[in-house]
């Protein structure tokens, strides 16, 4: 009888010991706040289905798709406000359309909860809690300039400076002006990158006649050192076209012929307009909060709250 009682006590207290003495506690999911009743019509490109997603839930999915979850919380909060601003602007643009945004880089990458549970596995709760915290702590916040929601563009990594919207998109927007982004070189693994393709593929992708010798000249650069116009074997080209056709990471690039190959060195990653995500990470690491990050990259924009 004593052995049975002792065995029962052990069975009861071992789990208690493991959970409480060793500190192994089950983490509870943080609930997402829902203050507004705004929904986003998201077109899922893999199925062509249009899903109706509550705004704040959508922002969590965009954070998961657009910014690494290991980033500092203040950087994630800056991204949450930028992404909320971006989609609110699209709600204005597309109010008479079938959907507001697609779930890819054509707008903002959106990953739903089912995907994240499978992708993150045992790390799901820790990761989703971090993203929900970023959203909850910026709930209903967006960026405004002169009474209008801003087009809060963002990208991965600068070449040391962000680009003026007028250079890339031919848009004169006072809140999308070039600023120095000195943090990217230290924070981003893709600040410098290189790719090699054959000379044959190079000419084919650009629609140029094959020549055994490659001639490359820069005709025009922006103030941030990104190429605007260039000449290849006497053909004048727009750098954005070259960037798109060759799948480059930036328009700050250099071409070098090595035998029958072309080596392409690039600096930065993305179109360069708006907030640099790795710049935001660097600022957060230096102690800047999300409001200061947003004020820096979106000159003159103000943080406002959705009026419910």
What pLDDT, on a 0 to 100 scale, did the predictor assign at position 307? 87
Q: Are residues 252 and 295 in the same domain?
A: no
Domain that holds residue 210: 192-267
Secondary structure, 3-state, 189-254: CCCEEEEEEEHHHHHHHHCCCCCCCCCEEEEEECCCCCEEEEEECCEEEEHHHHHHHHCCCCCCEE
Q: What digits encode the pLDDT tens for the residues 4-16?
A: 444 444 444 454 4
Number of domains in the chain: 2
Whether 306 shows a pLDDT value over 50: the answer reads: yes
Tokens of 8: 């029962």
Answer whether 271's CB lies under 8 Å from 105's CB. Answer: no
**Is 26 contained in some domain?**
no
Q: Is residue 255 part of a domain?
A: yes
Counting residues of the chain whose pLDDT is more than 70, the rounded percentage is 92
Cα 69–chain centre separation: 11
Whether 19 is in a domain gets the answer no
Average pLDDT over residues 283-305: 98
Decide if 140 is inside a domain. yes
Same domain, 251 and 283: no
Could you tell me the pLDDT band of residue 243, with boundaries at 50, 70 and 90? very high
- Looking at the structure, do residues 52 and 101 belong to the same domain, yes or no? yes
What proportion of the chain, given as a percentage, has pLDDT over 90? 89
Q: Summarize the confidence of residues 36-63 as an average pLDDT.
A: 96
Does residue 36 register a pLDDT over 90? Answer: no
Same domain for 204 and 251, yes or no, is: yes
Q: Tell whether 277 and 251 lie within a shared domain.
A: no
Average pLDDT value for the chain: 93
Q: Is position 99 within any domain?
A: yes
User: How far is C-alpha 100 from the chain's CA centre?
Assistant: 19
Q: How far apart are CA 262 and CA 201, in angstroms?
A: 9
Pair (70, 135) in one structural domain: yes
User: In the predicted model, is pLDDT for residue 22 greater than 70?
Assistant: no
Give the pLDDT mean for 124-133. 98
Q: Is 284 found in the same domain as 136?
A: yes
pLDDT at 99 over 50: yes
Do 117 and 206 sit in the same domain of this protein?
A: no
227 and 258 together in one domain:
yes
- Are 137 and 117 in a shared domain? yes
What pLDDT shows up at residue 35?
Answer: 85
Q: Is residue 60 part of a domain?
A: yes
The pLDDT score that the predictor gives to residue 18 is 46
Same domain, 43 and 153: yes
Q: Are residues 152 and 241 in the same domain?
A: no
The answer as to whether 22 is a domain residue is: no
The torsion defined by the Cα of 161, 167, 168 and 172, in degrees rounded to 10, comes to 100
Q: What are phi and psi of 302, to 5 degrees?
A: -120, 145
> Which pLDDT value is given to residue 250?
97
**pLDDT of 25 above 60:** no
Which pLDDT band, with edges at 50, 70 and 90, does 27 fall under?
confident
Q: Is the pLDDT of residue 114 over 60?
A: yes
**173 belongs to a structural domain:** no
Q: Tell me: pLDDT of 198 over 70.
A: yes
């Amino acid at each position: 009888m004593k052995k049975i009682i002792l065995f029962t006590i052990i069975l009861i207290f071992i789990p208690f010991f493991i959970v409480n003495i060793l500190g192994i506690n089950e983490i509870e999911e943080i609930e997402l706040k829902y203050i507004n009743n705004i929904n986003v019509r998201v077109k899922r490109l893999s199925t062509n289905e249009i899903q109706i997603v509550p705004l704040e839930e959508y922002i969590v999915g965009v954070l998961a798709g657009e910014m690494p979850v290991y980033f500092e919380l203040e950087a994630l909060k800056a991204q949450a406000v930028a992404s909320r601003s971006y989609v609110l602007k699209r709600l204005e643009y597309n109010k008479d359309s079938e959907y507001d945004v697609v779930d890819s880089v054509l707008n903002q990458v959106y990953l739903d909860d089912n995907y994240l549970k499978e992708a993150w596995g045992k790390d799901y709760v820790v990761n989703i809690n971090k993203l929900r915290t970023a959203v909850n702590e910026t709930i209903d916040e967006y960026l405004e300039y002169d009474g209008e929601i801003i087009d809060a563009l963002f990208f991965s990594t600068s070449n040391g400076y962000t680009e003026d919207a007028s250079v890339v998109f031919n848009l004169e927007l006072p809140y999308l002006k070039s600023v120095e982004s000195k943090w990217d070189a230290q924070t981003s693994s893709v600040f410098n990158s290189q790719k090699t393709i054959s000379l044959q593929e190079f000419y084919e992708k650009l629609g140029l006649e094959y020549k055994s010798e490659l001639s490359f000249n820069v005709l025009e650069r922006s103030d941030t050192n990104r190429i605007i116009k260039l000449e290849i074997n006497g053909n004048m080209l727009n750098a954005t076209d070259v960037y798109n056709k060759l799948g480059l990471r930036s328009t700050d690039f250099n071409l070098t012929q090595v035998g029958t190959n072309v080596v392409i060195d690039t600096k930065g990653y993305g179109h360069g307009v708006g907030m640099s995500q790795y710049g935001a990470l660097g600022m957060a690491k230096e102690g800047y909060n999300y409001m200061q990050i947003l004020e820096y990259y979106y000159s003159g924009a103000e943080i406002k709250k959705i009026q419910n």
